[in-house]
Chains A and B, each alone.
Chain A
Amino acid sequence: MPHTGRPLMPERLVVIGAGMASGRMLEHLTEADPDAYDITLLNAEPRGAYNRILLSPVLAGEKTFGDIVNHDADWYAARGIITRFGERATAIDRAAKVVRAPGGDLAYDKLVLATGSDPFMLPLPGADLDGVISYRDIEDTTRMMAIEPGQSVVVIGGGLLGLEAAAGLAVRGADVTVVHLMGHLMERQLDAEAGGMLRASLEARGITVLCDAASDRIIGEGGRVTGLVLKEGQVLDCALLVMAVGIRPAVALAQDAGLSVGRAVIVDDQLRASDPDILAIGECVEHRGTLFGLVAPLYEQAKVAADTLLGRAAAYVQKSLSTKLKVTGCDLFSAGDFSDAPGRESLFYRDPRHGSYKRLVLDGDRLVGAVMYGDTTDGNWFFDLIASRASVAPMRETLIFGPAYASEAGALSRCSIAA
């Protein structure tokens, strides 16, 4: 049914996945033009969009599930969105423009893939034992919240997710051991020194941290996990084993449908997959070779995808990313690239007594990386400086002390260079 401008009849939009990207896209779309599409939403999880990144506060008992739900059934209903929760799409017939699903096929004019990602599970012997879980959704979180004080838990993975899980479990009284393959925690976001401070702060909460520790196999009794055996042979008993070693984009549907897929579904700047009627957003997409795991770019994509669906010109532009660990009392901030390289210089600020550490990495006159531990107040300011790619040379001397001093015009002229 060819048409120009607004169609006579609303087109049919099918959305697969009700995660954070999906939810945000539907907000934009329905706010901009409630009648643009007849929308059907399929979701494997038996619920609508909730704020996955707030699972950690829930685990830590600082929030309830209710607090983190973005869109409940009523919200979708109010916008005339047909929801089929708990139902996993099985195939896409692009020729027929139909999505196949257990509850009946769905014809579409436009299709949005928001299938997100699946936690990566190490293929260890015993990985299928009961009590070996990932840290991805409400179900995982519920399992962890059921842990009894004093029970042992092993968390494999000393990245963001693993540490949030570990901290949350520790708050619940569990005896937690973090097993990390690399030399220091969060090595992708922190340098060794900040990683060390983080480790100290976690250990102060009673968490045991093992770095340079490779897992060998998982052991159990009667189908239930009882422990993890490390390569060196050390045995860590546990009643629950959480794997937080990364995620894998969920691309099976797309692959089967013959869409071009690299490490994830390849999209253009309008978030269109190799089939112009199919868009993809969130953790399941690969844009210009990059994958996405943090919330900020997902929201950006949601906005662009909505515009694309509305026939508005819009383009997704990647921005550099910053990380915050959501563990109360461990304030750390990491942005940009702080690997050593020729032409790079680092500024350091250390205040051990107050557990504060800052490192800024300059490449020539530009700020390219920032790591902070303890006092992260100026994080977003540094983040913006990294993103803007502006020269920081004029304020290099006071840069690390934050915006309060950078903005002060002529301050240097008020300095004396001799008594």
Chain B
Amino acid sequence: MDGSASGSVQQTRRSTCPYCGVGCGVLLTPDGVGGVMVKGDPDHPANFGKLCSKGSALGETVGLGHRITAPRIGGVETSWDEALQLVADRFSQTVAEHGPDAAAFYVSGQLLTEDYYVANKLIKGFIGTANIDTNSRLCMASTVAGHKRAFGTDTVPGTYEDLDEADLVVLVGSNLAWCHPILHQRVLKAKESRGTKLVVIDPRRTASCDAADLHLALAPGSDVALFNHLLTEAAVRGVVDPAYLQNTNGFEAALQAAQADDVSVTGLTPGDLDAFVELWCGTKKVVTVFSQGVNQSTSGADKVNAILNCHLATGRIGTPGCGPLSVTGQPNAMGGREVGGLANMLACHMDLENAAHRNAVRDFWQAPQMPDAAGLKAVDMFRAVGDGRIKALWIIHTNPAVSMPDADAVRDAIEGCDFVVVSDVTGATDTARLADVLLPAAAWAEKDGSVTNTDRTISRQRAVLPAPGHARPDWDILAEVGRRMGWHDAFNYANPSEIFREHAALSGIAGGFGRDFDISGLSDLSESEYEAMEPMRWPVSGHRKGGRFFADGKFYHKDGKARLLPVAYKPPAAKQSRRYPFVLNTGRVRDQWHTMTRTALSPKLSSHLAEPYLDIHPADAEALGLKPADLVEVKSPEGTAILRARATKDVPQGQVFAPMHWTGETAPSARIDALVAAQTDPVSGQPESKAAVVSVKKYAATWYGFAVSAEMPTPESSYWARMRTVAGWRTELAGKTAVADWETAARDLFGLPRADVIAFSDLGRGTARLAFHYGGQLLAALFVASEPVAVMRDYLASRPGQPTDAILVGRTPADVPDPGPVLCSCFGVGVNTIARAIEDRGLASVDQIGTALRAGTNCGSCRPELADLLATLRAPKAAE
């Protein structure tokens, strides 16, 4: 496929964005010098040509600087032959000596369906254990469990079109504006065109609230109580649909449980509750969008069912503009669910515990051995790694040492495991550093295959760049290990389309069992048909193509009916106490994705929020004696983090919020999942990532630093955060131990032992400023103060490579305006620039800002923030 890529250089190909689960189509045009120009695919049904800030900046992430290009054993480069033989031998040996369950795969929703299929086939059908789980467990598992409990299978009933056609959209635990911006824009468009109402249910005020008609800041984890209240009220107000209930079981029990629940635990005012119930009950076309805020909880599956109960009871499901819509965090979380890449699934939505299903799959695969029970889910899997039950572990395209709860323990478990294989595109992740064998995989723009997005649309991903060095696609690596383990015929694939056809054929068998996932209509695609495959929504079988599910009342439980589940509110596992008085909510920022292994490569994206932070209510901040931009030490029973405090009323008192992206590579003291307890949902095994309890106190730094440099700095202070800029890098630093000689310290930080230096010091104030240059051209500069450093960061970040001028002043010359932090990533427009334009030119709307400065006119991800800025600046001064 490298051939096909290099053969197609310069020619534009249709592919799919590798970030969130929206699955936007992209047009990729290689620039012929290793880069790619990226545009939205106007013909893709997910985005119709639009892209968010992350997708728009994909071109900045395909560089090869960070890539590994040859296999490594113990950090030493070696041949594929040596590396794969070692992997095959060690896995065979482990199975022989300790049994199949001593082996495990931990994979990723970033794998393509074909990769995923081979991984699942290898471990479940041939190595013989169900110990394969995926980072989708951290993302989707509760929804999978909820779907299966209600529908009898893991089916997303609706489609994106429902967002266009709904009269009410309810976001539950979803910051759609930042995490799925293209879907959010579809909602905003519907708001404009048909006056769709928007309700946001989230403990935190997010960017999604800017356009909301109602924001319910419910108590963390109280969603079940809220939707039980909704179900109760629905019954009272007579919007329950008796006819549709004929297709379901358990309504009475569910209603009783709902009535027994106490809505006051949500902490919402009766007024707000009525407004919500009124809207929901009074609006037939309602889509309830839910995401991590629902899933990442010890009662995640129950939350999902509480929501599904309401839609089932009212029959608002499967018809245009109606239904529950789970939005996923990964490009191919759905594909992973389809192939069965989770410990409790088999393949093609067939069940591991179902003997008939099991036998059918065994025969289809000609599999020597197959487990008959679920394997270990993510959290249990890494516990088993930790206590030595799992002795051979293969981690593919994910960073559990950062992203798992109790991340420090997970990191230690991986480090202590007998044999760890990591497949990735880069060696620079917290997890890859722990690998015994590190395998160089082809990256997104170099791979052929398919992915499935949130609304069941299967899209092709197409290679436009040659893989660097010896890097290979994952299906190819996995298949060769299968062959080297002795299963030659089962893994003798020539290309992804062969795998796709096999997968499609297997889905036909699933269809035969009456399962929902049936794409057997694609099982005899020709090579060229696969190559040209248009985005299409499953199922694709002889008797059914795409569309919505469940309007017909046909479900996948034995009796063909849906189930309403009796669910009751359960508080989060971790309890606030005098020692840990705050609830820690975690989440994402607009321009970063997951652990930033890719988005952090983009200077554009890294300029939006360039430092990990903790949002805390102003009253709490005051009580803790925090000044603006103080650093805080955040402690939970599991771990500690140091973060920059931001006082904001977006979070209620007693709650704090921190983004989860930062890692040992970017900010070692900000690995948020090190604070999160490994508490999981008993049904789904999904960890509770959004309700840890923590203490917060000022981090008593004796010095603060800000650095800019052309080359990557290597900080060693107890706090640092490092981000890309167009000119190189920007770094925030702080420490408790006094530094005697700042010049030496700075030379070490920047690796500039001999560069010319310009120095300013005011030791009485603890101020030191140093600029290093070569022939007057700035290489790096460090600004140190005893208080948080007050300089024009974004201006300074642009200076490396420029003349040193008066760099040590730390400000723009009087005549040069400072753009301020980038708000619009696509066009790099700073917040000061926008604020000035609003005031000087009297701009009154987001669109006027767009006309004047182009800000917000490409991906639109920043439009909520633009609206927010307008509101603040236009507010009467007295209000400030």
A binding-site residues for B, Cβ under 8 Å? 345-353, 362, 396-398, 400-401, 404-405, 407-408, 411-412, 414-419
Contacts and interface: CB of A to CB of B under 8 A. Distances in A.
Contact of B790 (A345, A348, A404, A412): A412
A296 to B, nearest CB: 30
Given A352-B756, A401-B806, A408-B814, A417 B789 contact: yes
B758 A350 contact: yes
Nearest to A404: B814
B738 interface: no
A415 B760 contact: no
A385 B821 CA distance: 35
A405 to B, nearest CB: 5
Contact of B764 (A345, A405, A418): A345
Interface in B771-827: 773, 787-794, 806, 808-811, 813-814, 818, 820-821
Contacts of B820: 414, 416
A408 B815 CA distance: 10
B150 to A, nearest CB: 44
A346, A415, A418: residue with the most chain B Cβ atoms closer than 10 Å? A418
Contact of A407 (B806, B809, B814): B814
Nearest to A411: B811
B760 A347 contact: yes
Given A417-B629, A419-B721, A398 B811 contact: yes
Contacts of B814: 404-405, 407-408, 411
A407 B815 CA distance: 12
Main secondary structure of the interface of A (DSSP, over half): mixed
B758 A405 contact: no
Nearest to A360: B762
B790 to A, nearest CB: 4
A415 B761 contact: no
Given A351-B758, A404-B814, A415 B790 contact: yes
Interface string B612-638: 010000000000000011000000000
B756 A419 contact: no
Contact of B788 (A346, A405, A411, A418): A418
B809 A348 contact: no
B410 to A, nearest CB: 28
Interface string B721-760: 1010000001010000000000000000000000011111
A273 B568 CA distance: 104
A350 B761 CA distance: 9
A347 B757 contact: no
Interface in B808-851: 808-811, 813-814, 818, 820-821, 832
Given A404-B814, A405-B811, A416-B793, 4 more contacts: A345-B763, A350-B758, A353-B756, A397-B765
Nearest to A362: B764
Contacts of B764: 345-346, 362
Contact of B762 (A345, A414, A415, A416): A345
Contacts of B761: 347-348
B229 to A, nearest CB: 41
A32 B342 CA distance: 103
B198 to A, nearest CB: 31
Given A349-B760, A350-B759, A412-B790, A419 B808 contact: no
B133 interface: no
Interface in B565-590: none
B154 interface: no
B610 A419 contact: yes
Nearest to A349: B760
27 contacts: A346-B764, A347-B760, A347-B761, A347-B762, A348-B760, A348-B761, A352-B756, A352-B757, A353-B758, A362-B764, A396-B765, A397-B767, A397-B790, A398-B811, A401-B806, A404-B813, A405-B811, A407-B814, A411-B814, A415-B792, A415-B793, A417-B628, A417-B789, A418-B628, A418-B644, A419-B644, A419-B821
A352 B789 CA distance: 25
Nearest to A347: B762
Contact of B611 (A347, A352, A405, A419): A419
Contacts of A416: 790-794, 820-821
B791 to A, nearest CB: 5
A342 to B, nearest CB: 12
A411 B765 CA distance: 19
Nearest to B791: A415
B788 A414 contact: no
A350 B769 CA distance: 11
Please provide the 6 A-B residue pairs with the shortest distance between their CB atoms, ordered closest to farther: A345-B764, A419-B611, A419-B610, A418-B629, A417-B629, A417-B788
Contacts of A353: 756, 758, 773
B810 A418 contact: no
Contact of A348 (B759, B792, B810): B759
A400 B760 contact: yes
A346 B758 CA distance: 17
Contacts of A398: 809, 811
Nearest to B788: A417
B609 interface: yes
B607 to A, nearest CB: 9
Nearest to A348: B761
Contacts of A411: 811, 814
Q: Which of B761, B767, B773, B820 has the most CB of A within 10 A?
A: B761
A364 to B, nearest CB: 11
A353 B628 CA distance: 38
A288 B629 CA distance: 53
A110 B706 CA distance: 68
Nearest to B759: A350
A55 B792 CA distance: 49
A350 B789 CA distance: 21
Contact of B810 (A352, A400, A407, A415): A415
Contacts of A362: 764
A319 to B, nearest CB: 27
Nearest to A400: B760
B789 A396 contact: no
A345 B821 CA distance: 35
A419 B789 contact: no
B611 A418 contact: yes
Contacts of A396: 762, 765
Contacts of B789: 417
A137 to B, nearest CB: 44
A419 B791 contact: no
Contacts of B730: 419
Nearest to A351: B758
| Interface core residue of A349, A350, A415 (most chain B CB under 10 Å) | A415
A415 B783 CA distance: 13
A418 B733 CA distance: 10
Contacts of A412: 790
A350 B757 CA distance: 8
